[in-house]
Structure 1
């Protein structure tokens, strides 16, 4: 059985994006990158520029901070797509007041319809202390539920900590 969907989980700056990129580099398929972040300040610009340099050339980049389904629906079988990241996508929806259940169902539906091989990066946010404000607690809760749904749908789930991968579902 070929792997169609890989979920890469990890904390902030854990090496999950680099690991996800390596999966794509090791594929003989055409590489696409689906970026969900928005440039809201200088720090974000620097982080995005660093990721672009790290990836190098040979990628088709799509920038979509909310409607990732349209991009996923457009991809063909000879493509491997890195969606980086589900956490930022969810944050975007939370901050714009979207119905999060509808948005999540739309994403899961697009993943199941997608013809391309997918590598999805997402943050594990539930291993720290309880956040001190309601918005952060809401985010932690919905991110955890999204990760559970993504992991259930994925063929392979890999946790990356300190740059080291650990297979939670499937094999490395």
Structure 2
């Protein structure tokens, strides 16, 4: 089962996903896809870590999430944007290659008997990126989001801390 949660920055995506996971399991899993690249981001990650209690099992994985021991678990994947960034950089900014790699990883996860709560960002709802690579990534993010949302059993858009159910 896939529950897809998307929204803008500070829209409440992670809080919603974590609360939902705790409703479904007393011992959920949190998969962090982030690569720490500066002090500010390290502080954001630390804030997220402090929000989770000891009942959480945490894995840090930049890619190949399907290789983690997730069978029969409730799993929060946070987030598609950082996961895509890792694949995009490994794929030397090739959109088609990155999208194919991402889809292959999602398809592999779909074979795992688990409940996945997959968090992503809606980065295309604001201003257009002012660089070519930024525009390429925004397109990639949009296509990746569409792919996950199409496979999802549920899709939720978070706006100002409120969940808007798009698909149930």
Please tell me the TM-score bracket, short chain as reference.
Answer: over 0.9
Provide the residue aligned with 1:144 in structure 2.
142
RMSD after superposition? 1.2
Q: Helix, strand or coil for the counterpart of 1:114? A: coil
- Number of equivalenced pairs: 164
Q: Helix, strand or coil for the counterpart of 2:125? A: coil
* Unmatched segments (≥5 aa) in structure 2: none
CA deviations 1:81-102 (Å, max 9, x no partner) are 0000011000111122262133
CA contact (8 A) 2:11 2:158 kept: yes
Q: CA deviation at 1:18?
A: 0.5
Please, which of 4, 9, 15 is the counterpart of residue 6 of structure 2? 9
Please, which of 120, 123, 134 is the counterpart of residue 122 of structure 1? 120
Provide the residue aligned with 2:130 in structure 1.
132
CA contact (8 A) 2:32 2:58 kept: yes
CA contact (8 A) 2:99 2:144 kept: no
CA deviations 1:117-170 (Å, max 9, x no partner) are 110000011111221111100000000000000000000000001100000001
TM-score by length of 1: 0.91
Q: Helix, strand or coil for the counterpart of 2:127? A: coil
Q: CA deviation at 1:29?
A: 5.0
Q: CA deviation at 1:20?
A: 0.3
Q: Helix, strand or coil for the counterpart of 2:164? A: strand
TM-score by length of 2: 0.93
Provide the residue aligned with 1:81 in structure 2.
75
CA contact (8 A) 2:26 2:55 kept: no
CA contact (8 A) 1:36 1:88 kept: yes
Structure 2 residue 40 is the aligned partner of structure 1 residue 43: yes
